[in-house]
């Protein structure tokens, strides 16, 4: 029986593109340029600069509609990537925060047929994404 408690505080998003505010005093073109400059400065590779994988998984879980009582375990099925299995009741998802989703890991996805896969956009190339979609249905692949 777990008699402890969790404390949560409001923190900035791990996804830097969520923090851009347009300037109403500038033109549409100036705001587009400012957004492009901002996104270039905040590339997705910096999503884990502080190595807070637990915080990133928490944010993803909340965005996917999971309760705060979800559980996370590192999956031993994926030798080439660090993949976490997140469970909340009947809902399950695999989360990989690695910079590259290795092609060798794709074969193991068939062991999780009803499970969503969450990966970073920067970790996929077109070929890898296509191969993943052959193992799981495209509606189970979420790219951040």
Same domain? For 137 and 118 the reply is: yes
At residue 2 the predicted structure's pLDDT band, cuts being 50, 70 and 90, is low
**Backbone phi, psi, residue 112, to 5°:** -130, 65
**How many C-beta neighbours within 10 Å does residue 53 have?**
16
Same domain? For 21 and 56 the reply is: no
Count of domains forming the chain: 2
Rg (CA), the chain: 17
Same domain? For 84 and 35 the reply is: no
Answer whether residue 124 is part of any domain. Answer: yes
Answer whether residue 64 is part of any domain. Answer: yes
Per the structure, the complete domain to which residue 35 belongs is given by: 17-45
Give 42-75 pLDDT, tens digit per residue. 665 455 555 688 888 998 999 999 999 999 999 9
Answer whether residue 11 is part of any domain. Answer: no
Q: Residues of the chain with pLDDT > 70: what percent?
A: 87
Same domain? For 83 and 115 the reply is: yes
CA distance 132 to 139: 11
Answer whether residue 7 is part of any domain. Answer: no
Q: The tokens of 14 are what? A: 């791990």
> Which residue do the tokens 């999503």 mark?
47
Vertex 115: Cα angle to 113 and 121 (nearest 5): 115
- pLDDT score of 88: 97
Same domain? For 69 and 84 the reply is: yes
Same domain? For 75 and 124 the reply is: yes
Answer whether residue 37 is part of any domain. Answer: yes
């Amino acid at each position: 029986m777990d008699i402890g408690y969790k404390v949560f505080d409001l923190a900035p998003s791990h996804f830097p593109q969520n923090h851009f505010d347009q300037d109403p005093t500038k033109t549409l073109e100036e705001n587009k340029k400012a957004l492009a400059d901002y996104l270039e400065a905040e590339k997705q590779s910096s999503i884990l600069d502080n190595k807070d994988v637990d915080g990133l998984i928490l944010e993803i879980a909340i965005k996917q509609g999971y309760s705060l009582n979800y559980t996370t375990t590192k999956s031993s099925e994926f030798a080439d990537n660090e993949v976490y299995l997140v469970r909340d009741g009947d809902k399950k998802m695999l989360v990989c925060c690695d910079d590259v989703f290795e092609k060798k890991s794709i074969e193991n996805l068939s062991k999780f047929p009803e499970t969503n896969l969450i990966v970073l956009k920067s970790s996929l190339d077109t070929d890898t994404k296509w191969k993943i979609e052959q193992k799981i249905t495209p509606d189970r692949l979420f790219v951040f």
